[in-house]
């Protein structure tokens, strides 16, 4: 792992230096040309230097912007240039109260590099390859019971509200589970967070309950509260299962009129522990509603692939295995999560010119048949989780598929400009997933043959059809 | 009170850090100015037109980049005060 970190650091450094040398040299040449031209045209010193500075400063801004966008791999456009000039890009950092380190703003590309390193660090912390990471089922059940007691204690308070906004898929999954337990909660009109923007009139000046599974970095909480503040509200209650203490305090300071209610408030370390020990188990339990959103690939392999073999297959610098789990009772089954950053680049080279991936995770649910003998087969259910961060606005127009594109189904394309700018999540996820499956299966089959001499006997792929609309960036 | 003091101390630390880097950048810029001047005076004759042009242009470039830096730190400072 240290090798990866050193490599990352080296690459970032070389990239920064090369870019700077090239672009600053170009700036110097432009500056010489400007001065030379001015010398030939104007003779008065004062005017000459004033014009010179007036030309040079915008040039310097432009070149600095070029360095920034090349190194951050951003699209070069006038709007982006404007955003960078006004520092709108890092608005999130400033809002969370984290002042950027000066080194980061002299070398903006290092932010990306820090992020990369952080993700590697996270993976090192999670990596427990030697031992199996058990989810403690009893404790999870106990905490779930306590959480439900907590909800029933506060139920009357929740029923005062008119509507509920379920944050992201996790929030939705847990809240839907809660409704089954507490039917009175059905009274709250449900919205998901991406739907808020299309239902402003219905949400305006109401009593709003926001539900999320957790507050960690508090970015999504800020986004939704800011949006609702713009729309207008009577009161807001922000309910989560768990929250990280510092983020929660900064939120409370910033939004004194919002009520925050949490079942557990934890320090960073304890938060991570709580999440890993309990929340993942809880989410697995309630993830019925998540299933529709993922593609599912069912494979049968003619050889037994034990945990060690499997880790061996993916043991190289390109992938990070960061979770190996087994539910206590089922000895033949285990779950491995894998992140494949190399696929980001593959996808960038295909039709997704301007797409940025936040995450490409693959979860393997592995079941060994006849594990006591050395001969047997392995069933693998493979579910990719693809999370795009940014994509081109007109992306959907490029590869709209009439069969499942929501915009075609609603028959609203061309009604107005705003609707044309919408991106249908069905198309995005579907196209991404099919690209991902092509790339990943090629790689997986090759590795299986190479390292284990194993072959895939059966293959069955089902695609997702999520029912939500998202807005392009 | 204790919380408040802690936050104030964090802010002061950040400001000191910013001042410190600004100072370093200013020193670097002046040093480069000095270096260019030194090279031109001692290695080339001062009447050489193209060398003079190069000197003014490179000093202008560094000055412009320094202005970018000043602008960026100012805008960040303002945004931080607003937060």
C-alpha–C-alpha distance, residues A169 and B30, integer Å: 55
Yes or no, beta carbons of A94 and B83 under 8 Å apart: yes
Confidence of residue A387 (pLDDT cuts 50, 70, 90): low
What is the helix, strand, coil percentage profile of chain B, to 5?
A: 90, 0, 10
**What residues in A contact B56, CB-CB < 8 Å?**
35
Residue-level pLDDT, tens digit, chain B, 83 residues: 777 777 778 777 777 877 887 888 889 889 988 888 888 878 776 677 777 888 888 888 988 988 888 887 777 777 666 65
B57 touches chain A (CB under 8 A): yes
A57 in reach of chain B (CB within 8 A)? yes
Long-range contacts of A221-226 (CB under 8 A, 24+ apart): A221/A167, A221/A247, A221/A251, A222/A95, A222/A96, A222/A251, A222/A254, A224/A165, A224/A167, A224/A193, A224/A196, A225/A255, A225/A258
User: How confident is the model over A279-305, as a mean pLDDT?
Assistant: 66
- DSSP track, A330-392: -TTEEEEEEE-THHHHHHHHTT-TT-EEEEEEEEEEEEESSTTSS---EEEEEEEEEEEEE--
- Confidence at A222, pLDDT banded by 50, 70, 90: confident
What one-character-per-residue DSSP string does A172-187 give? HHHHHHHHHH-GGGGG
Report which of A298, A364, A365, A289 is spatially closest to residue A330, judged by C-alpha positions.
A365
CB contact under 8 A, B64 and A35: no
Cβ atoms B67, A60 nearer than 8 A: yes
| Residue B61 touches chain A, beta carbons under 8 Å | yes
Specify the pLDDT at position A113.
61
* More confident position, A342 or A382: A382
Best mutation site among A23, A24, A31, A39 for testing chain B: the one with the most B CBs within 10 Å?
A31
| pTM exceeds 0.95, yes or no | no
Closest CA to A250 of A450, A412, A99: A99
Q: Which of A96-110, A233-247, A451-465 has the lowest mean pLDDT?
A: A96-110
Measured between beta carbons, which residues in chain B are less than 8 angstroms from residue A25? Answer: none
- In which band, very low, low, confident or very high, does the pLDDT at A121 lie, cut at 50, 70 and 90? low
Out of B21, B58, B63, closest to residue A102 by CB: B21
CB atoms within 10 A of CB A470: 19
Q: Are B33 and B57 in contact (CB under 8 A)?
A: no
Q: Is A28 on the interface with B (CB under 8 A)?
A: yes
Helix, strand or coil, per DSSP, at residue A67: helix
Categorize the per-residue pLDDT at A302 as very low, low, confident or very high, splitting at 50, 70 and 90: confident
| Nearest-Cα residue of chain A relative to residue B70 | A106
Residue A94 has a pLDDT of 44
Q: Tokens at residue A221, please?
A: 């909480």
Please tell me what DSSP assigns to residue A188.
Answer: S
Phi and psi at A384, nearest 5°, equal: -80, 140
The answer, for B59 touching chain A at a CB cutoff of 8 Å, is no
B14 neighbourhood in chain A, CB within 8 Å: 99
Greater confidence (A256 vs A371) lies with: A256
Is A6 near chain B, with CB under 8 Å?
no
Q: What are phi and psi of A39, to 5 degrees?
A: -60, -40
Query: Could you give the percent of chain A with pLDDT greater than 90?
Result: 5
Nearest to A99 among B14, B53, B64 (CB): B14
8 Å CB contact between A71 and A15: yes
| A26 close contact with B: CB closer than 8 A | no
Q: Does A361 touch chain B (CB under 8 A)?
A: no
- Has residue A401 got a pLDDT over 80? no
- Predicted local confidence at residue A125, as pLDDT: 46
Backbone angles phi, psi at A216, to 5 degrees: -115, -75
- By the 8 A CB rule, do A459 and A287 touch? no
Is the pLDDT at A141 greater than 60, yes or no?
yes
Which residues of chain A have a CB within 8 Å of the CB of B67? Answer: 57, 60
Burial (0-12, 13-18, 19+ Cβ within 10 Å), A349: exposed
CA A386 to chain centre: 8
Q: How many CB atoms lie within 10 A of CB A326?
A: 18
Q: In A, which residues are within 8 Å of B54 by CB distance?
A: 32
pLDDT at A393 exceeding the cut of 50 = no
| Interatomic CA distance for residues B76 and B80, integer angstroms | 6
Q: Is the pLDDT assigned to residue A43 strictly greater than 70?
A: yes
CA distance A13 to A15: 5
- Residue B2: what pLDDT? 72
Question: Could A60 and B21 be called an inter-chain contact, meaning their C-beta atoms sit closer than 8 Å?
Answer: no
On the question of pLDDT at A168 being above 70, the answer is yes
Write down the domain spans for chain B.
Answer: 2-82
Is residue A407 over pLDDT 80? no
Query: Residue B79: which of A24, A52, A94 has the nearest Cβ?
Result: A94
Token code pair at residue A113: 């590099």
Contact A112, A250 (CB under 8 A): no
CA–CA distance, A67 with A73 (Å, rounded to integer) = 10
**The pLDDT of residue B52:** 80
pLDDT, residue A145, reads 84
The per-residue pLDDT of chain A, averaged, comes to 73
Question: Could you tell me if B74 lies within 8 Å of chain A, comparing CB atoms?
Answer: no
Residue carrying structure tokens 């910013």: B18
**How far apart are the two ends of chain B, measured CA to CA in Å?**
20
- CA-nearest of A332, A335, A320, A338 to A365 is A335
Q: Look at the block and give the residue holding tokens 């080339």.
A: B44
Which pLDDT does position A27 carry in this prediction?
93
User: Which range has the worst mean pLDDT, A130-134, A153-157, A318-322, B55-59?
Assistant: A130-134
What letter would DSSP give residue A448? I
Question: Is B75 in the A-facing interface, judged by CB distances under 8 Å?
Answer: yes
Of A59, A102, A105, the CB nearest to B64: A59
Q: Which of A11-20, A69-78, A197-206, B74-83 is the least confident region? A: B74-83
Q: What domains does chain A contain, in order, with CATH numbers?
A: 2-125 (no CATH), 133-289 (3.40.50.2020), 294-471 (no CATH)
A93 Cβ under 8 Å from any chain B Cβ: no
Residue A189 has pLDDT above 80, yes or no: yes
Closest listed residue to residue A236, CA positions, set A176, A167, A287: A167
When scoring A26, A30, A32 by the number of chain B Cβ atoms within 10 A, the one with the most, hence best to mutate, is A32
The reply to whether residue B72 touches residue A105, judged by beta carbons under 8 angstroms, is yes
The per-residue pLDDT for A23 is 92
Q: Which residue has the higher pLDDT, A328 or A274?
A: A274
Which of B60, B68, B80 is the closest to A52 by Cβ? B60
Helix (H, G, I), strand (E, B) or coil at A321: strand
């Amino acid at each position: 792992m240290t090798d990866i970190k050193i490599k990352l650091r080296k690459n970032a450094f070389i990239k920064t230096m090369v870019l700077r040398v090239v672009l600053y040299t170009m700036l110097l040449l432009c500056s010489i040309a400007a001065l030379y031209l001015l010398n030939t045209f104007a003779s008065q010193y004062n005017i000459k230097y004033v014009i010179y500075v007036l030309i040079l400063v915008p040039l310097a801004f432009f070149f600095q912007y070029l360095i920034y966008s090349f190194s951050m791999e951003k699209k070069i456009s006038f709007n982006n240039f404007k955003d960078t000039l006004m520092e709108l890009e890092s608005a999130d950092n400033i809002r969370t109260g984290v002042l950027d380190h000066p080194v980061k703003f002299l070398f903006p590309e290092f932010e990306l590099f820090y992020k990369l390193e952080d993700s590697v660090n996270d993976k090192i912390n999670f990596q427990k390859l030697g031992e199996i990471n058990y989810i403690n089922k009893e404790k999870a059940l106990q905490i779930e019971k306590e959480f439900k007691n907590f909800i029933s204690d506060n139920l009357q308070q929740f029923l005062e509200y008119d509507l509920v906004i379920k944050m992201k898929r996790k929030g939705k999954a847990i809240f839907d589970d809660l409704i089954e337990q507490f039917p009175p909660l059905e009274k709250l009109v449900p919205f998901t967070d991406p739907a808020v923007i299309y239902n402003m009139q219905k949400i305006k000046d109401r009593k709003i309950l926001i539900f999320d599974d957790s507050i960690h970095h508090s970015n999504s909480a800020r986004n939704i509260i800011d949006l609702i503040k713009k729309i207008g509200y009577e009161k807001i209650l922000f309910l989560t299962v768990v929250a990280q203490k510092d983020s929660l305090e900064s939120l409370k300071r910033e939004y004194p009129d919002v009520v925050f209610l949490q079942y557990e408030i934890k320090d960073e370390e304890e938060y991570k522990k709580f999440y890993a020990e309990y929340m993942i188990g809880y989410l697995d339990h309630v993830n019925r509603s998540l299933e529709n959103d993922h593609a599912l690939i069912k494979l049968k392999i003619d050889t037994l692939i034990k945990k060690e073999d499997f880790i061996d297959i993916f043991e190289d610098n390109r992938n990070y295995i960061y979770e190996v789990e087994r539910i206590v009772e089922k000895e033949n089954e285990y779950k491995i999560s894998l992140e494949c950053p190399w696929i980001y680049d593959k996808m960038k080279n295909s039709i997704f010119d301007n797409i940025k991936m936040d995450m490409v995770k693959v979860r393997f649910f592995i079941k060994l048949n006849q594990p006591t003998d050395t001969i047997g087969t392995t069933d693998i259910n493979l579910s990719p989780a693809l999370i795009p961060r940014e994509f081109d606005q007109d992306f959907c127009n490029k590869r709209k598929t009439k069969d499942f594109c929501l915009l075609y189904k609603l028959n609203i394309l061309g009604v107005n400009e705003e609707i044309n700018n919408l991106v249908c999540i069905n198309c995005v996820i579907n196209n991404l997933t099919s690209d991902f499956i092509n790339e990943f299966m090629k790689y997986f089959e090759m590795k299986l043959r190479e390292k284990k001499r194993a072959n895939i006997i059966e293959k069955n792929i089902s695609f997702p059809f999520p029912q939500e609309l998202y807005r392009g960036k | 009170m204790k919380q408040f003091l802690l936050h104030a101390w964090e802010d002061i630390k950040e400001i000191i850090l910013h001042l410190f880097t600004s100072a370093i950048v200013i020193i670097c810029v002046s040093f480069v100015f000095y270096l260019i001047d030194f090279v031109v005076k001692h290695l080339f004759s001062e009447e050489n037109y193209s060398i003079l042009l190069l000197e003014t242009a490179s000093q202008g470039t560094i000055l412009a980049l320094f202005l970018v830096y000043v602008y960026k730190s100012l805008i960040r400072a303002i945004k931080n005060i607003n937060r």
